[in-house]
Amino acid sequence: MSNKPILVTGGAGYIGSHTALMLAEAGERVIVLDNLSTGFADAVTQGELIIGDVADKALVSRILHEHDIDTVMHFAAHTIVPESVADPLKYYGNNTCGTRNLLECCARAGVKHFVFSSTAAVYGIPHDGIAREDSPTAPINPYGTSKLMSEWMLRDLSAAGEMRHVILRYFNVAGSDPQGRIGQSTAKATLLVKVACEAAVGKRAHVSIFGTDYPTPDGTGVRDYIHVSDLAAAHLKALEHLRAGGESDTFNVGYGHGLSVREVLDAVERLNGKPLDIREEPRRPGDPPSLVAAADRIRATLGWTPRHDDLAFIVRTSLEWERAPRY
């Protein structure tokens, strides 16, 4: 453990807040930078929250210098695929240009370690539905492209200087903190488990299946769903790797098996004890038929061992978060 704090950008958002909490529980000092456009101040339960944007170079530079930051975990991004298709410049502006500005500040401040929140969307549509770290990167939506461009910038910056990095390519994140302290509160969320659990507790009138004619066993999209706490733990493993002198690297973070939309909805109905109002809709632009991680490398190289590879557990923690009273 370092005595220097870690800057967590987007740490008031869904994944960032879970990671910041886990870092604090491990004894790390955490500084969260978030503009609260989609995050929530009350999700920052540990450390200091600074309200601001990663694109604000003056602010970022001041934070890095005043707090003597040597490690940055970068989560701040727009993440909704259909929105990226409809408004691509929003994604290139925030995700790509914002990351570029952050990296410039990090390079000037001498930041040593950088952990980047990327996505399986960089792969596009793998020919067999399985994405490996060396699979071709061919994103089919601006969200994936904006993240891939950020990966390239990070790769080139690390090659030109002393900063080392880990890129984590997330698959479909779901669930909430098992102790119910924080969860996913994103307004108008599009992640399936979140949407289905909101519908289950009456926060949405129905849940839609977008596409029932995919070349999959039941015709609906297949994804690799990973519990947010396991994903947060992968960031701590990435940090350990970099602090131990590990080389810059890229890892998939998933369980290595897929579940269809119908399988997920069946689990929500079963655990909630009543049927959902399910609507069948046309396919959405930018959605691949199947996307599952080959995730052996992160286990072998970082020693990451997931604890919550269980759909029932993922859904249960999501339902508990949705049922919890909010004040």
Coil, helix or strand at residue 242? helix
Q: Is 143 a catalytic residue?
A: yes
**What 3-state class would DSSP assign to 186?**
coil
Element spanning 188, H or E? none
Q: CA–CA separation, 291 vs 257, rounded Å?
A: 9
Q: How many helices (H) and strands (E) does the chain have?
A: 11, 15
Q: Which residue has the tokens 């995050």?
A: 39
What is the C-alpha separation between 317 and 283, in angstroms, rounded?
Answer: 28
CA proximity to 154, closest of 80, 72, 230, 236? 72
Radius of gyration of the chain from Cα atoms?
19
Contact 67, 108 (CB under 8 A): no
Cα(130)–Cα(125) distance, rounded to whole angstroms?
9
DSSP bridge partners of 167: 116, 250
| Length of the chain (residues) | 327
Antiparallel, parallel or unpaired: β 6-9 and 222-223? unpaired
Give, for 33, the enclosing helix (H) or strand (E): strand 30-34
**Contact call for residues 293 and 223 (beta carbons, < 8 A):** no
Distance CA 167, CA 318 (A): 26
How far apart CA 275 and CA 205 sit, in angstroms, is 12
Considering the candidates 143, 170, 214, 255, report the single residue annotated as catalytic: 143
- Catalytic residue numbers read 143
